[in-house]
């Protein structure tokens, strides 16, 4: 079977079927791409795919429409008018690179190398390349909208606690006895290689099910215990469940005694956090908390499916720690059907952090405050993005004057959209590489046409930071002058004369695959491979923590100056903490639930997907709607102290009567003007990234905010 686009030249009329990996989200489903005359004619799920077994979600099924969309950016553009004026000239790649290099060198000369930040969106194929490129450029500042709010709090904090990020063991020696879905609905999100198809298949073994969510989702309706909590109180609920398990002595005593550090101190800490204490805080009846804790302890092994919802609050570090201790106490860590550390099949990615001097590392924005995100407590320090935007706006502690964005519509996906807009307009250089002209790209100096997943070569290992399955993406078609992000970074590095610029992307892929004895081309030809799972790895070498054990009492957090034990903290903007404000804004706002046909702010210009969700939608309980004179289908104005947006009313008894849920990521590609409706229905108009922040991770409150609604 041919594996590269170049090898197919001259094969007119012959159809080739290439094995690749769908990255319409960052789930990692295996795909078969049919190519005829160097053009993709069909994309389908690969029956041999270890994560999806031939199935694709709506976004994957629409991938060919993405590749061939007439709205695609297909050649570089350089702005000729004012920002947002919509005046561009087509440029060659050489012109675009020369323009960028001139601007970059001017910023370096005047402000220093730290004055440029490299940004991206969610973790696609180039997730590891963004910090690598930043380190090559000599800047400690790289990051994305989710570094402090999505997955990375779990990565960084479980690394401190357990020595790595565990994942649910689906398809192993046995099925989970109980699955706990905490702030996560994988059937509509399929993140990070833990795709919804696996979770769906796991239900066939009839495990017990516990769901924690303010919305009664499809899986919540199947649950043995459904805990419909107040948004932002996940830490209180987790602490109360730990209290019950410890008080009942229903934890795995042998595992806890042999493999945990600080259990006695945890016992003392959680003694105060009874279900009766938690009930008025979480809105969950004490008897339900006890029932969930009993079911979790009795039905082991337990698999924990947790999601981004727990990372959208202020007390993120301690929330992640408290929730992660539930599988620890039940002895479900690294056992068949439990919560397992991965096999780490690939060689470590060469991030090139060593290129930065110690002095330059200290300049990472946020390093002095948020040490688990940006400093010594992080396995790969990231800039604190609110601090980056503050630096763009005010020059404190120094100016950020250049922002190179690879695959992110910043005005839609960062909190405080208007604050982000103000920051972007003060830059000397804004570059955006993307598929389409977004509101953020409309503000850029240079827009580069990025290749979509069927147009690139890359190695991906799933789940993220577990690496039990190794897959290849391969280039199946050349669309216009589009280039993949890794190639753009490499070519820019060469023109700037940066260290390691001679490395070809494929050389990096081959290095990653060296432990498996494969080259990238060999992996692409054979298709995905699963690395056999080895359980109870700690019995041979312990856990990768300072004590060699799971640190219920974190010695590393203590060293960094943070509370080594989990605790509860009320979010700063709630009916409890801000009762006066709650009189003006009486509802609790949650946002961020996945829309099955979109990925964050993407794909609204694809007809096949837009038909599945034509307009932004806000979920309201019928009782709440009736109080405000709102009927199904009405346009509703949603307001917080920061701004107002409007969305269509969807009335459902499945949401808590005191909570509303508005969809995020909305803009309207079909609208004229540079804004494309970015201010009309974008949930991040309602949020802010100005703090306060989690002291370790720099996370801020994105959910559990106070709001009011009224008929438009």
The pLDDT tens digits for 507-542 are 999 999 999 999 999 999 999 999 999 999 999 999
344-356 average pLDDT score = 97
CA pair distance 386, 146, nearest whole angstrom = 11
Query: pLDDT tens digit string along 618-642?
Result: 999 999 999 999 999 999 999 999 9
- In this structure, are residues 689 and 414 in contact, taking their beta carbons and an 8 Å threshold? yes
Cα-based angle 513, 517, 519 (whole degrees, multiple of 5): 55
Query: pLDDT tens digit string along 113-130?
Result: 999 999 998 878 999 999
pLDDT given at position 594? 87
Name the fold adopted by 166-340.
Answer: Dimethylsulfoxide Reductase; domain 2 (3.40.228)
pLDDT given at position 196? 86
Give this prediction's pTM. Answer: 0.95
pLDDT given at position 593? 87
Asked if omega into 340 is within 30° of 0 (cis), the reply is: no
422: pLDDT confidence band, cut at 50, 70 and 90? Answer: very high
- In this structure, are residues 177 and 337 in contact, taking their beta carbons and an 8 Å threshold? yes
Answer positive or negative: Cα dihedral of 377, 381, 385, 390: positive
Per domain, the residue ranges of the chain are 77-151+345-530, 166-340, 579-711
Half-sphere exposure (Cβ direction) of 51: Cα atoms closer than 13 Å = 33
Query: pLDDT tens digit string along 136-150?
Result: 999 999 998 888 899
- In this structure, are residues 667 and 601 in contact, taking their beta carbons and an 8 Å threshold? yes
> What residues contact residue 571 under an 8 Å CB cut-off, 6+ apart?
232, 313, 314, 315, 577, 701, 704
Query: pLDDT tens digit string along 363-407?
Result: 999 999 999 999 999 999 999 999 999 999 999 999 999 999 999
β-strands 29-36, 260-261: how paired? unpaired
pLDDT given at position 2? 36
Q: How many CB atoms lie within 10 A of CB 535?
A: 17
Residue 13 has pLDDT above 70, yes or no: no
The yes/no answer on whether domain 579-711 falls in CATH 2.40.40.20 is yes
pLDDT-above-90 percentage for the chain: 92
Residue 172 has pLDDT above 60, yes or no: yes
CA pair distance 313, 307, nearest whole angstrom = 12
Backbone angles phi, psi at 459, to 5 degrees: -105, 135
Residue 7 has pLDDT above 70, yes or no: no
Query: pLDDT tens digit string along 80-97?
Result: 999 999 999 999 999 999
CA pair distance 511, 620, nearest whole angstrom = 51
pLDDT given at position 3? 40
Beta-strand (E) ranges in 258-389? 260-261, 302-306, 339-340
DSSP-assigned states of every residue in 179-209:
EEEES--TTTT--TT--HHHHHHHGGG--EE
CA pair distance 534, 334, nearest whole angstrom = 8
21-38 average pLDDT score = 94
pLDDT given at position 171? 82
pLDDT given at position 497? 98
Averaged confidence pLDDT in the chain: 95
User: For residue 472, what are its two tokens?
Assistant: 């290849």
Query: pLDDT tens digit string along 459-495?
Result: 999 999 999 999 999 999 999 999 999 999 999 999 9
186: pLDDT confidence band, cut at 50, 70 and 90? Answer: confident
Q: How far is CA 246 from CA 21, 565, 644, in A?
A: 44, 15, 45
Residue 9 has pLDDT above 70, yes or no: no
691/260: higher pLDDT: 260
Residue 306 has pLDDT above 80, yes or no: yes
23-32, 133-142, 228-237: segment of lowest average pLDDT = 23-32
Asked if omega into 546 is within 30° of 0 (cis), the reply is: no
The domains spanning 166-340 and 579-711 adopt the same CATH topology = no
Residue 336 has pLDDT above 50, yes or no: yes
Name the fold adopted by 77-151+345-530.
Answer: Rossmann fold (3.40.50)
DSSP-assigned states of every residue in 491-519:
HHHHHHT-TTTT--HHHHHHHHHGGGT--
pLDDT given at position 11? 45
CB environment 273-308: b (16+ within 10 A), e (fewer): bbbebbbebbbbebebbbbbbbbbbebbbbbbbbbb
Going across the sheet that includes 302-306, the strands are: 225-227, 208-212, 178-182, 302-306
The 3 state secondary structure assigned to 92-130 is CHHHHHHHHHHHHHHHHHHHCHHHEEEEECCCCCCCCHH
1: pLDDT confidence band, cut at 50, 70 and 90? Answer: very low
């Amino acid at each position: 079977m041919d594996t590269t686009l170049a090898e197919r030249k001259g094969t007119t009329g012959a159809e080739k079927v290439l094995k690749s990996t769908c990255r319409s989200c960052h789930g990692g489903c295996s795909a078969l791409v049919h190519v005829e005359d160097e053009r993709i004619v069909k994309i389908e799920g690969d029956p041999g795919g270890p994560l999806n077994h031939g199935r694709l979600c709506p976004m994957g099924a629409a991938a060919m429409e993405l590749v061939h969309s007439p709205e695609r950016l297909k050649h570089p553009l350089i702005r000729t008018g004012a920002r947002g004026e919509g005046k561009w000239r087509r440029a060659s790649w050489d012109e675009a690179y020369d323009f960028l290099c001139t601007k970059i060198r001017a910023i370096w000369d005047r402000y220093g190398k730290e004055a440029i930040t490299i940004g991206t969106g969610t973790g696609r194929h180039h997730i590891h390349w963004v910090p690598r490129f930043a380190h090559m450029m000599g800047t400690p500042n790289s990051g994305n909208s989710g570094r402090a709010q999505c997955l990375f709090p779990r990565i960084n904090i479980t690394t401190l606690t357990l020595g790595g990020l565990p994942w649910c063991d689906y398809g192993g020696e046995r099925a989970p006895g109980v699955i706990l879905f905490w702030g996560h609905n994988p059937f509509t999100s399929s993140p990070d290689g833990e795709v919804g198809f696996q979770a769906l298949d796991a239900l066939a073994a009839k495990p017990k099910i516990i769901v924690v969510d303010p919305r009664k989702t499809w899986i919540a309706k199947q649950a043995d215990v459904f805990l419909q909590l107040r948004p932002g109180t996940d830490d209180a609920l987790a602490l109360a469940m730990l209290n019950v398990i410890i008080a009942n002595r229903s934890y795995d005593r042998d595992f806890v005694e042999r493999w945990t550090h600080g259990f006695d101190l945890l016992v003392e800490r959680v003694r105060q956090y009874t279900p009766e204490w938690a009930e008025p805080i979480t809105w969950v009846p004490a008897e339900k908390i006890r029932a969930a804790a009993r079911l979790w302890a009795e039905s082991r092994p337990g698999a924990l499916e947790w999601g981004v919802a727990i990372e959208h609050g202020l007390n993120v570090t301690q929330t992640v720690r408290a929730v992660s201790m539930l599988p620890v106490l039940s002895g479900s860590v690294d056992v068949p059907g439990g919560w397992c550390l991965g096999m780490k099949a690939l060689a470590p990615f060469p991030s090139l952090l060593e290129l930065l001097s110690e002095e330059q590392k200290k300049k990472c924005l946020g390093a002095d405050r948020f040490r688990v995100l940006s400093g010594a407590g992080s396995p790969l320090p990231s800039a604190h993005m609110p601090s980056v935007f503050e630096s763009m706006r005010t020059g404190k502690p120094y100016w950020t004057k250049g922002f190179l964005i690879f695959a992110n519509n910043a005005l839609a996906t960062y909190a405080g959209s208007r604050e982000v807009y103000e920051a972007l307009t003060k830059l000397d250089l804004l570059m955006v590489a993307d598929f389409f002209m977004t509101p953020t790209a409309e503000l850029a100096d240079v827009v580069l046409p990025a290749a979509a997943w069927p147009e690139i070569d890359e190695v991906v290992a799933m789940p993220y930071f577990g690496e039990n399955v190794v897959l290849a993406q391969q280039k199946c078609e050349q669309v216009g002058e589009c280039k993949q992000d890794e190639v753009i970074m490499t070519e820019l590095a060469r023109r700037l004369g940066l260290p390691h610029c001679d490395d070809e992307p494929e050389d990096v892929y081959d290095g990653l695959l060296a432990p498996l004895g494969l080259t990238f081309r060999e992996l692409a030809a054979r298709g995905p491979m699963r690395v056999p799972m080895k359980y109870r790895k700690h019995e041979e070498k312990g856990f990768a923590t300072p004590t060699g054990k799971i640190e219920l009492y974190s010695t590393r957090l203590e060293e960094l100056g943070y509370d080594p034990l989990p605790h509860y903290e009320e979010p700063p903007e709630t009916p409890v903490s801000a009762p006066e404000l709650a009189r003006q804004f009486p509802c609790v706002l949650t946002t961020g639930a996945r829309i099955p046909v979109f990925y964050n702010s993407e794909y609204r210009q694809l007809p096949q997907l837009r038909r599945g969700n034509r307009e932004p939608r806000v979920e309201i309980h019928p009782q709440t709607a009736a109080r405000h004179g709102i009927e199904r289908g009405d346009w509703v104005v949603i307001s917080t102290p920061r701004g107002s947006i409007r969305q269509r009313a969807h009335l459902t008894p499945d949401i808590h009567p005191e909570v509303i849920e508005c969809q995020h990521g909305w803009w309207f590609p079909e609208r004229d003007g540079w804004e494309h409706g970015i201010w009309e229905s974008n949930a991040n108009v309602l949020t802010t990234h100005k703090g306060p922040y989690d002291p370790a991770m720099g996370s801020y409150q994105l959910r559990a905010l106070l709001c009011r609604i009224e008929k438009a």
